[in-house]
Chains A and B, each alone.
Chain A
Amino acid sequence: MALLLDSSIRMWVVLPIVFITFFVGVIRHYVTQLLHSDKKIDLEQVSDSQVLLRSRILRENGKYIPRQSFAMRKHYFNNAETGFFKKVKRKVIPKNPMTDHSMLTDMMKGNLTNVLPMIVIGGWINWAFSGFVITKVPFPLTLRFKPMLQRGIDLLTLDASWVSSASWYFLNVFGLRSMYSLILGQDNAADQSRLMQEQMTGAAVAMPPDPNKAFKSEWEALEIVDHKWALENVEEELMSRDLNFGTFFSQDRTCTMF
C-alpha cells in the first residue's frame, strides 16, 4: 500500500526527534558523570573473582604446562578435604535493596537519569506529534503491532508498517547507541542498553551475589577437565619446518628515537 507523506513531516518531525533524542542522551551522559559516586570495592570480592579467573584459565590453558603442575593445581582447587573450592565458604549476606543504602541511592540515580527522561520525552512526543504516521518500516508487520506502533491513529485498514512518532522515538533511543560511542568515546553513560546488562570489568569485578554457587560450578567444571599436553610433539613439529633465517638479520638497522 503506497502512501505519499507530506515532505514537511520529514523536516519538522523526523529530524527534530532525532536531534532531541541525541541531545538528551548527551546531557544524560554528563549528568550521570556529575552525579557519579565511587563504588566501594570489597577486598574479598576482588580476591574471589581473581581466583575464579585463575581457575578458568587453568581449565582453558592448562595444556601448556606439564602434567604434574596441572595435577598439582587441580588438586589445590578440587581436593575433597583441603581443596580451595571445597574448603572456602563465604558468608553470604543477601543484599536487600531496601535496606542497603548505597544500592538504594544507586538505583534511584539510575532511574532518575535514564528512565525518567525517556518517559517524559516519550509522552511529550506522543502528545505533540500525534495523529499522523511518520515513516514506514521496511519489513511487514502483523496486525497485532498496530495498537503499539500507531497510537492515536484509528484507521483499520492502514498497514501495520506505517508507524507513529512515538515508535520512531524509541527506535532512535536504541539506534543512537553507536553514535554515542563514536562521539562520547566508549563506556559512556548515555548508553541505555548497559542498564540491561549490569557489568563491570577490570580489576574489581563485582562478584555474583553468591560466591558459593560460583565456586561450586567452577569445581564441577574443573573436575571434568583432562590434561592433554600441547607440547607432546612440539620437537617433531619444530624440526619439520625450516627456521627461515633469511630475512632476519640486516646490517642497516639504526637505533634512534624517532
Chain B
Amino acid sequence: MASVSEMYDVGWEEMRDKLRKWREDNFRNSEQIVDVGEELISEHGSKLGDDIWIIYEQVMIAALDCSRDDLALTCLQELRKQFPDSHRVKRLSGMRLEALERYDEANKHYDAILQEDPTNTAARKRKISILKAQGKSTEAIRELNEYLEQFVGDQEAWHELSELYINEHDYGKAAFCLEELMMTNPHNHLYCEQYAEVKYTQGGLENLELSRKYFAQALRLNNRNMRALFGLYMLAGRGTKENKCSVKAVEEMLESMQITMS
C-alpha cells in the first residue's frame, strides 16, 4: 500500500496544513484524516512540535469513526501521558468507551467530569449522544431540551434537536429549532431550505406559502441550491392564488435541467 505522501507527492508540511484546514472547517472525512494523520504521526511525529497534540485528538476521533480501535488507543494513551488531568482528554476516553459500546462506563466518565465542572458543555452533549446511540430518542429529546434551557446559544444543539424532532415527526417543534438557527445565521441558505422543507411537510395552506417564501430566500442567498429550486418548483406547480410565480419557476427548472444534461 502506497503511503499518502507517495500517492499525492506531498511533503509533511502540506499534510499538516491539510489537517489543519480540515480541523478548522470542521470536516468529517474520517477515512482521509486517518490515512493522512497516521502517516504524519508515525513518520514525522518529531517534526510537528506542539501541533502533535491537537493532531492526536483529530486523528483519534477520526479513528473512532473508522473503527480503528488500535490507532485510537495509541493516540489516547499519548494524550493521557501528556495531559493527565485534562477534562478534554477524559472526554476523549469517554468517546472511546462509547465507540466500544460500553455505555455505562462512558456515562460514569462524563458524570465525573460534570461533578468537577458543571459548566462543561462537551460532557453533557456526549451523554445526550449516548442516549441517542442507544435508541432512547424521547429521553434524548428531553435531556437536550433541558440542556438548551441553560445554554440557549448552542447552535449545534439546536440543529441536533431539530433532527431528533424530525425523526419523531414532530414538525412544529423542529420548525421552532430551525427558526432559532435562522435567526442566529440569517445568511445561511441551508437553514432556510431545511426550514422550508419542514414547513412543506407540515402541510396546510399557510405553511405552504411560508415554505415557498423560504425556498425563494434560500435561492436568493445561494443560486446553486438545487433542493430549494426543486422545492420552489413543486410548490409553484400546485396552483395557489399567485400564479405568476409558477410559470417562471417552471422555466427556470427546465433551463437548469438542460444545463445539467449538456
Contacts and interface: CB of A to CB of B under 8 A. Distances in A.
Contacts of A64: 182-183, 186
B14 interface: yes
B183 A58 contact: yes
A50 B152 contact: yes
A213 B151 CA distance: 21
A245 B223 contact: yes
A229 B262 CA distance: 39
Interface string B202-226: 0000000010111011011001100
Contacts of B219: 238, 243
Contacts of B32: 257
A51 B148 CA distance: 10
A239 B255 CA distance: 14
Contacts of A204: 119
A65 B179 contact: yes
Report which residue of B8, B152, B176, B210 has the largest number of chain A beta carbons within 10 angstroms of its beta carbon.
B152
A131 interface: no
B20 to A, nearest CB: 13
Contact of B183 (A41, A50, A65, A239): A65
Interface in B171-211: 175-176, 179-180, 182-184, 186, 210
A66 B210 contact: yes
A254 to B, nearest CB: 12
B55 interface: no
A43 interface: yes
Interface string A36-75: 0000011100110011011001100110111001000000
Interface in A118-175: none
B260 interface: yes
A257 B18 contact: yes
A237 interface: yes
B153 A50 contact: yes
B260 A244 contact: no
A163 to B, nearest CB: 44
B219 to A, nearest CB: 6
Contact of A235 (B175, B176, B186, B245): B245
B2 interface: no
A7 interface: no
B186 A61 contact: yes
B131 interface: no
Given A235-B216, A239-B245, A57 B182 contact: no
A42 B224 CA distance: 45
Nearest to B219: A238
A47 B223 contact: no
A12 interface: no
Contacts of A235: 212-213, 216, 242, 245
B142 to A, nearest CB: 18
Contacts of B210: 66
A53 to B, nearest CB: 5
A43 B182 CA distance: 26
Given A235-B212, A258-B8, 10 more contacts: A43-B118, A50-B153, A58-B183, A65-B183, A234-B216, A237-B216, A237-B220, A238-B220, A243-B255, A257-B36
Interface of A: 41-43, 46-47, 50-51, 53-54, 57-58, 61-62, 64-66, 69, 203-204, 231, 234-235, 237-239, 243-246, 248-249, 256-258
9 interchain residue pairs of minimum CB distance: A50-B153, A61-B183, A258-B8, A47-B150, A235-B216, A65-B179, A50-B152, A238-B216, A54-B152
